[in-house]
Amino acid sequence: MRGSKFAVALLLALPVVSSAQSQGGGRANSWDYSLGAIYQLGETLKGKGGSSLDVDSEVGFGFGLGYNLTDRLALGADFNYLRPDYTAIITDADDPTVEQRVDHTLTQFDFRFKGTYNFLDGPFTPFVEAGLGWTQLDSNVAKGPPVTGCWWHPYWGYVCSNYYRTFSGTDFAYGGSLGVRYAFKGGGFIRADYSLYKLDVGGQLGSPQLDAVKLQYGWNF
């Protein structure tokens, strides 16, 4: 399974660090803000009649905000942004031997609410998260002729511009993550996690999954 080695390593860290928690975490009744990079693994989906979608692995960025109810329990939200390349094979509904290939770049936005449980009170702790939210995917492929919009600009005067509607959609996402966190003196911290979220897209694609590894630096205040 993709990411399984990373997840196993995090689980093995639990007994190793359990004796190293001599000082309190001090997270209760405080806010966390974090920024970081996300590496999302590729995904291949098969559709009816030979259609397929192959999305490449990609590096993106994200940020998070959370409130620590106690030293171990927190509630928060995450936002991610990525632009992975993809290849789509689209077959004709009447003649499956006729197909069209599209090589392009997706625009992906993730917004998720999550609950976090820290296993330990100290500055170093493994954690698990469960979350749900939405993922918006834009194919950046036009779905029709351009639409022209015109307006009065205070400097340029009467201005007209074209824009395109694209094939896009927003789907419900649910899943969780497993990670580790270390807090520095002064309020800074780093955290790394492996996450798996499934998309409820309906239709014939089933439930595509987003596997990702994220590394973040944050501030506790």
Binning pLDDT at 50, 70 and 90, where does residue 166 land? very high
In whole angstroms, give the CA distance from residue 90 to residue 54. 12
Coil, strand or helix: which one is 18?
helix
The CATH number given to whatever domain includes residue 113 is: 2.40.160.20
Structural domain of 34: 4-42+57-86+102-140+169-220
Whether 151 maps to a domain, the answer reads no
pLDDT at 64 over 60: yes
Whether 214 maps to a domain, the answer reads yes
Residue 88, number of CB atoms within 10 A of its CB: 20
CA-angle at 190, arms to 189 and 192, nearest 5°: 150
Whether 152 maps to a domain, the answer reads no
Percentage of the residues of the chain whose pLDDT score is greater than 90: 64
Whether 19 maps to a domain, the answer reads yes
Provide the mean pLDDT of the chain.
87
How many domains does the chain divide into?
Answer: 1
Start-to-end CA span in the chain (Å): 37
pLDDT at 10: 47
93-151 per-position pLDDT tens digit? 777 778 889 999 999 999 999 999 999 999 999 999 999 999 999 999 998 888 888 98
Whether 62 maps to a domain, the answer reads yes
Whether 209 maps to a domain, the answer reads yes
68-95 per-position pLDDT tens digit? 999 999 999 999 999 999 999 888 877 7
Whether 156 maps to a domain, the answer reads no
Whether 48 maps to a domain, the answer reads no
